[in-house]
Structure 1
Amino acid sequence: MWTGRAVLWALIVVIVVNGVRAPFERFTQQNAPSGAAPVAGSGFPTVQASAFAAQFAEVYLNFDGARLAERESRLAPYLPEGAEAQFGWDGFGRMSAGAVQPYGIEVVDADNAVVTVAYQSENRRQLLSVPVYHDYAAKRFVVAGRPGILPAPRAADLPPKAAPERDRAAEQELRTTLEDFFRAYAGDTTSLQQYADAGVTLQGFGGAFTFLQLKDLAVPLGGGNTREVTATVSWGVPSKATPSTDPEPADPGQAGGKLEQSYLLTMVKQGDKWFVKDIRGAHRSVAG
């Protein structure tokens, strides 16, 4: 009997405590700030922060002593209130940078991160480290301190790769077909589809380039009626200038040029004809 009474009283105490605690928890949750920041690392908007820093870098890394006011007005949307208008630049000299892209991000805490962007300035590839602060309540960013320019890693050493044995007979057989294909791929969209495998729709350049030469065609041994081939093509780059009778214009930009590109094609043989099933960018070259 005493054991039963003890269990009953314990049950009553639990019900009373839960009845008091539940309204209290609801009240505190309703009065919590709506813009409260999450704990560190639980949701910092890295994509948006990277975009913000890249836009800032595009403005920050381009300056000219003759255009102070323009740079000042363009920097203003990124800087905290009261920040120096040129943000560390004394107003002399000039610098130009482009190819600005997000490179990495280090989340410091729930509100702060350091975004690194890569850029190109003349013949140098470099990095810019940008500290940013995120206001969760307002959903806004601001540059939180002076950026830092860093050298970018140099290009990797490309190890040599052994060349596969080539099927010279298949290369000879495919050459004429692929020359005609790339000629149509450059501009003759009407006839392009006749080179496509069944069910494949090809889309060419529509006249943006002209076909000059199939410089190389590599077909590895084996594969039967489906072959993966690598083609190196020389495209003609048209000039935007008015045609001139001068064989060597003073401005090389006025002359048509050429551009070599490499492609990986999947070729399928049906009967005695070859058709293109797929075309995409080639893999790495054999040379180291």
Structure 2
Amino acid sequence: MIGLPDPGDWEARKQRRAKKKAKATGAAGAAASPGAVPPQMTNPWETAARQLQEQRTDPAAVSAARPATTPEPSTAGPAAAPWAVVDEHSGAAFARRFGRGVLWALVGALALLGAKSVLVPKKAPAPAQQAAPAQSGPAYPADEARAVAARYARAYLAWDEKTPETRAAMLATVLPEGADTAAGWDGHGRQDVLAVEPGTVTPAAQRQARVRVDVLVRTPAPAAPPKPGTPAAPAPPAYWVGLDVPVVQAGGRVVISGPPGMVGVPASGPAAPELDGPQADAPFSDQTTETVKQFFTAYAAGQTETVTAPGAVVPPLPSGIALVAVESWTADQGGGADRTGTARVTWQLGGAHLEQSYRVRLTRVVAASAQRWQVAAVLGGTTT
């Protein structure tokens, strides 16, 4: 480290003035005791310069005042500077040099970045593609659309040339005001609608939608034979007709927006997937077969209260249905107080036999020291 910091030019001028007075004051300074208090200086750097000048002028006096172990500075050679440079051997010098290196490296990096921004202008980012705004507003009234389309299909496909006003009045309730209530009918013939089944609603733009409706119609036989030379095409007594009905929501209601189109009805459904059924419990099936038979006999007779578990509610079948036989009863594997199984039952109704399937749930009823199985619920079909 530097023995004393550089006092500046003004200190150098004061040192030169101090050299002129050195001879007069040198002896007094050397003879002064080490513990004497130096006179008050106007500037602390003048005192430091004066002491160094005294060391240069009279090294013997200074040597006598210093401890014996302190080496004397060399005065050989040209005139030495008033400040002595002492090498640092601690980590402070390394830390200072390292900090200066980091600072210069940062300055260089900033300079390179500035030059790059000038020589290679940054490209403007491409505008991001805006996502399509989500459709807002209330959902389409599908239930109302099905109801309106079903009413329209029933009126549209039912006509009688003897009472054309009936069809027109029914169509007017679902058509826009002022629409043609003939709806494409020429006013001849007769056709009856037996059933209407509304299906899928497909919404479209401008609050429109297309409703699929299946209609079961029947064309009665003509009252008189057709004229000679015009054979009538045979028509089935009843058949299904598909109808695509266009609707639109307007004024808070759904109305018919245009003429419909007849479409075909598939002759069969798609192939059903293979479903894994439950494993059978043969011993339990044999144990409860009589219980299941008694239930279905009472089920057809309208007396389910006597064969159902306490608290169970199983409405009886309507009159005119008689049990022919419980074809099979298979209980599922399981345990506990509730068990389920599948029953295949043949009924007699309408002069015919009809086989059906049921899922039956049994529950164990304990009374005193006895217990038995009774029906707690019955559901049609084989869905597990």
Distance 1:215 1:135, change over 3 A: same
What is the root-mean-square deviation of aligned Cα atoms in Å?
A: 2.9
Q: Which string of whole-angstrom CA distances, capped at 9 and with x for unpartnered residues, describes residues 31-87 of structure 1?
A: xxxxxxxx8753443221221111111111122444433322322222334433321
**Residues 160 and 141 of structure 1: is their aligned pair in 2 closer, same or farther, counting only changes over 3 Å?**
closer
- 1:43-54 aligned at under 5 Å gives the runs 43-54=139-150
Q: Distance in 2 between matches of 1:45 and 1:163?
A: 39
Q: Please, what TM-score do these two structures have when normalized by structure 1?
A: 0.66
Match of 1:263 in 2: 358
TM-score, structure 2 normalization: 0.51
How big is the shift at 1:104? Answer: 1.7
Structure 1 unaligned regions, length at least 5 = 1-38, 238-252
Contact 1:42–1:110 (CA under 8 A) maintained in structure 2: no
Letter in 2 for 1:216: S
**C-alpha distance 176-127 of structure 1, shift in aligned 2 (>3 A):** same
| Percent sequence identity over aligned pairs | 30
Q: How many residues get paired? A: 226
Q: Does 1:130 align with 2:245?
A: yes
CA distance in 2, matches of 1:164, 1:111: 47
SS in 2 for 1:78: coil
The structure whose RCO (Cα within 8 Å, separation 6+) is larger is: 1
Q: Cα gap change, 1:43/1:161 in structure 2, threshold over 3 Å: closer, same or farther?
A: closer
Mapped contact 1:218–1:231 kept (Cα < 8 A): yes
Of 142, 151, 159, the residue aligned with 1:55 is 151
Amino acid of the residue matched to residue 101 of structure 1?
Answer: E
Residue in 1 aligned with 2:381?
Answer: 282
Q: Is the 8 A contact 2:248 2:254 kept in 1?
A: yes
Which shifted more, 267-276 or 47-56?
Answer: 267-276
Q: Matched residue of 2:327: which SS?
A: strand
Match of 2:194 in 1: 98
Whose strand proportion is higher, 1 or 2?
Answer: 1
The 2-side partners of 1:121 and 1:40 are apart by: 40
Q: Which residue of 2 aligns with 1:226?
A: 338
Larger radius of gyration: 2
Q: Is the 8 A contact 1:41 1:109 kept in 2?
A: no
2:179 counterpart SS class: coil
1:267 CA drift (Å): 1.2
Q: Which amino acid aligns with 2:184?
A: G
> Are the counterparts in 1 of residues 340 and 360 from structure 2 also a CA contact under 8 Å?
yes
CA distance in 2 between partners of 1:47 and 1:161 (Å): 32
Aligned to 1:205: 317
Q: Is the 8 A contact 2:244 2:260 kept in 1?
A: yes
Structure 2, unpaired ranges of 5+? 1-134, 219-237
Q: 1:3 maps to which residue?
A: none
